[in-house]
């Protein structure tokens, strides 16, 4: 009997394999090939052009700066929110539902919503003007106010994408039996000690997933930045877009894409190593 | 060391009253088992003593100090959980050391106390392992060692043996008794297993429906149950209850007559299966045998007395068959009389 049915599992996963192969693997190989080819064969010309561009080092700096500020803030915020949500007895589902609304909004729509708040004639300026705090429209998102622009992007990203970390961490917290925390409490651990010595270590697998997901997405940040700052705040994905559409240079765009992928892979490798849970330490 | 006074503790969950004015005093160094079926409130009471649950009203006093509103960590107690709650991300050593670390004990003291607790529970050889590598019985030992390492005044145990297989449970039970006797810790032990309670405890509090039905030594509870519930819950087979008519101080069943307390007309004869013996000539209380089960050490006879089902224990070599009617003789001093209406024993 097993011999006759042995092809069934393969048949069942075949559609996914075909799907991934056609729509993921092939374009990936094509992109890598594209980035390393110029004219008539293998060449590093695209990468040289990318690295030589005025905006390149700015884009690298901005992307890393955003990621290094946004991701840790999101994890801390999500941890605090998750801890509070799991402590709720009533209305927990409603609170969770409200907190995760931003997840249902596309990046660009979120960027535009924040633009409506923060642009010269936006709600923020109107409110400040009404309160008499400013005399006229103040530009928050211009090239002259890079820190205000950076802060606005960080704010919008926090609003937009903290919920995905929250959802993963809440799922992780629910997997930890409450007896561990109770036992720690009986044996003298104060709330902060319980969090640091019990909850956080047992949450490590969920933290790892959340960090990988969020960091990879943070390195790809684009729509929110583009909506709020355009090219006033260059980021890697934005540069790839500019080279692809404005400059019609697909090779350099592909080089940017490959660079983003390499950075994401490296970050993932670091998380997998640093936050690994040895099998014998699993609950 | 410390005594524990539980003073009229009430616990309500919404409109449900899980504990109704429970009072209990546990003496210094005493081992008390809270015994009852699931849902009787025994675990809730233990969690209130620990401070993991807040009582609706009433007080908990440990060693003369009212701890009713104190956090668990300030109550000076240790606890063993039903599923052990041994921290999976710490080695056995760090698990046992956890309470001492929280007390900020010196490293040399931590080492000394962990090693002593480990020796007591025979887990010295796996101190550097992680709990996932241990069997259920070994994890259980780690949980007990963690509790004893802090040398607590009070030790609370919530069904600590219920996740072990039968043979291991028997072994751990014996060992636990020896270890705790040596430590001299005041212990409250929650269980639904009567043999555990009987074997371990100095006194047993039998709980039912959020109340303590009876508190007493294992022998007292067994021989003189205070209610029909206690008689039926303790003992294997459970106590038989036979409705009889008591007139002029005598209850008649077949050609047997037993002196009965004439306080109430509707009474029940509470009779333990092992307190009846087969009469050689078939006289006494008539018992119709339906099923004979040879248990090795004894025969378990199931049948009926006066049309009411009953279980009787007979010697393993007794010559009895299913379908046979035999006579039982009963020592009148070893029976319990129960008021049919209140369910309480008639003193």
Angle at Cα A260 formed by Cα A259 and Cα A261, nearest 5°?
90
The whole-angstrom separation of Cα A218 and Cα A161 is: 9
Does residue B258 belong to the interface with chain A, where contact is any CB pair within 8 Å? no
B97-129 pLDDT per residue, tens: 999 999 999 999 999 999 999 998 889 999 999
Q: Is B71 in Cβ contact with A185 (below 8 Å)?
A: yes
Edge to edge, the sheet with strand B154-158 lists B77-80, B154-158, B186-191, B31-35, B203-208, B211-216
What pLDDT was estimated at residue B1? 62
Is residue A174 in some structural domain?
Answer: yes
Q: Is A186 in Cβ contact with B50 (below 8 Å)?
A: yes
Model confidence at A1: pLDDT above 60: no
Confidence of residue B286 (pLDDT cuts 50, 70, 90): very high
- Among residues B19, B77, B22, which one has the least CA distance to residue B52? B77
Is residue A5 in some structural domain?
Answer: no
How distant is the alpha carbon of residue A80 from its chain centre? 18
What DSSP element (H or E) covers A51? helix A45-52
In contact, B184 and B126? CB cutoff 8 Å: no
Both tokens assigned to B166: 């039968």
Pick from A187, A190, A204: CB nearest B99: A187
In chain B, the domains with their CATH numbers are 4-227 (3.40.50.300), 236-339 (2.40.50.140)
Count structural domains, chain A.
Answer: 1
Q: Residue A132 belongs to a domain with what CATH number?
A: 1.10.3720.10
Is residue A192 in some structural domain?
Answer: yes
What pLDDT was estimated at residue B92? 95
Q: Is B99 in Cβ contact with A185 (below 8 Å)?
A: no
Residue in B with minimal Cα distance to A281: B89
What ipTM was predicted for this assembly?
A: 0.84
What pLDDT was estimated at residue B28? 93
Model confidence at B264: pLDDT above 90: no
The whole-angstrom separation of Cα A149 and Cα A137 is: 15
Is residue A60 in some structural domain?
Answer: yes
Q: Hunting for tokens 């929280």 — which residue is that?
A: B102
Residues of A with CB under 8 A from a CB of B: 177, 179-180, 182-190, 193, 198, 201-202, 204, 277-283
Does residue B87 belong to the interface with chain A, where contact is any CB pair within 8 Å? yes
B138-175 pLDDT per residue, tens: 999 999 999 999 999 899 999 988 888 888 888 888 88
Residues in contact with A184: Cβ distance below 8 Å, sequence separation at least 6, in sequence order: A193, A194, A197, A198, B87, B98
CB pairs under 8 A between A and B: 65
Partners of A216 in beta bridges: none
Q: To the nearest 10°, the Cα dihedral for A156, A158, A161, A164?
A: -160
B51-74 pLDDT per residue, tens: 999 999 999 999 999 999 999 999
- The C-alpha R_g of chain B, in whole angstroms, comes to 24
Model confidence at B21: pLDDT above 80: yes
Contacts of A282 in chain B (CB under 8 A): 88, 132
Model confidence at B263: pLDDT above 80: no
> Structure pTM?
0.83
Structural domain that includes position A203: 56-233
Partners of B259 in beta bridges: B250
């Amino acid at each position: 009997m097993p011999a006759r049915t042995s092809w069934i599992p393969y048949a069942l996963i075949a559609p996914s394999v075909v799907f991934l192969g056609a729509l993921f693997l092939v374009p990936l190989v094509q992109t890598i090939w594209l980035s390393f080819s110029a004219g008539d064969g293998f060449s590093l010309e695209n990468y040289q052009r990318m690295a030589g561009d005025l905006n390149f080092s700015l884009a690298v700096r901005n992307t890393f700066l955003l990621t290094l500020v946004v991701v840790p803030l999101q994890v801390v915020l999500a941890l605090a929110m998750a801890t509070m949500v799991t402590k709720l007895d009533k209305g927990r589902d409603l609170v969770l539902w409200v907190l995760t609304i931003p997840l249902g909004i596309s990046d660009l729509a979120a960027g535009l919503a924040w633009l409506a708040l923060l642009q010269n004639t936006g709600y923020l300026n109107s409110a400040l003007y009404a309160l008499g705090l400013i005399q006229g429209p103040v530009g928050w998102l211009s090239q002259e106010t890079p820190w205000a622009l950076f802060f606005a992007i960080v704010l919008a990203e926090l609003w937009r994408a903290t919920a995905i970390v929250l959802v993963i961490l809440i799922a992780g917290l629910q997997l930890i039996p409450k007896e561990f925390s109770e036992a720690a409490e009986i044996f003298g651990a104060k709330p902060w000690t319980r969090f640091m010595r019990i909850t956080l270590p047992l949450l490590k697998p969920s933290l790892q997933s959340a960090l990988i997901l969020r960091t990879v997405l943070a390195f790809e940040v684009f729509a929110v930045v583009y909506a709020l700052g355009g090219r006033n705040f260059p980021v890697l994905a934005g540069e790839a877009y500019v080279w692809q559409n404005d400059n019609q240079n697909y090779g350099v765009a592909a080089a940017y894409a490959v660079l983003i992928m390499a950075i994401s892979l490296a970050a993932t490798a670091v998380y997998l190593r640093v936050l690994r849970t040895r099998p014998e330490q699993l609950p | 060391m410390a005594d524990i006074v539980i003073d009229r503790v009430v616990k309500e969950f919404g409109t449900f009253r899980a504990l109704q004015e429970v009072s209990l005093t546990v003496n210094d160094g005493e081992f008390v088992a809270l015994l009852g079926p699931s849902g009787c409130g025994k675990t809730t009471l233990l969690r209130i003593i620990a401070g993991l649950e807040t009582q609706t009203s009433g007080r908990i006093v440990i060693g003369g100090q009212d701890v009713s509103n104190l956090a668990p960590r300030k109550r000076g107690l240790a606890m063993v959980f039903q599923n052990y709650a041994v921290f999976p991300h710490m080695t056995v050593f760090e698990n046992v050391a956890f309470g001492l670390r929280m007390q900020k004990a010196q490293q040399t003291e931590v080492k000394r106390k962990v090693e002593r607790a480990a020796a007591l529970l025979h887990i010295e050889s796996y101190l550097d392992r992680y709990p996932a590598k241990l069997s259920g019985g070994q994890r259980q030992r780690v949980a007990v060692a963690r509790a004893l390492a802090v040398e607590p005044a009070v030790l609370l145990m919530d069904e600590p043996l219920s996740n072990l297989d039968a043979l291991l449970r028997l072994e751990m039970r014996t060992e636990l008794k020896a270890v705790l006797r040596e430590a001299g810790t005041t212990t409250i032990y929650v269980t639904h297993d009567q043999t555990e309670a009987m074997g371990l405890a100095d006194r047993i509090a039998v709980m039912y429906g959020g109340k303590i039905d009876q508190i007493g030594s294992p022998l007292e509870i067994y021989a003189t149950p205070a209610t029909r519930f206690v008689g039926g819950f303790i003992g294997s087979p459970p106590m038989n209850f036979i409705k009889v008519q008591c007139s002029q101080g005598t209850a008649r069943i077949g050609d047997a007559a037993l002196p009965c307390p004439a306080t109430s007309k509707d009474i029940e004869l509470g009779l333990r299966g092992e307190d009846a013996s087969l009469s050689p000539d078939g006289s006494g209380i008539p018992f119709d045998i339906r099923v004979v089960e040879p248990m090795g050490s004894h025969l378990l006879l199931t049948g009926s007395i006066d049309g009411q089902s009953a279980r009787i224990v007979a010697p393993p070599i007794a010559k009895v068959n299913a379908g046979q009617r035999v006579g039982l003789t009963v020592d009148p001093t070893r029976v319990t009389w129960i008021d049919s209406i209140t369910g309480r024993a008639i003193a």
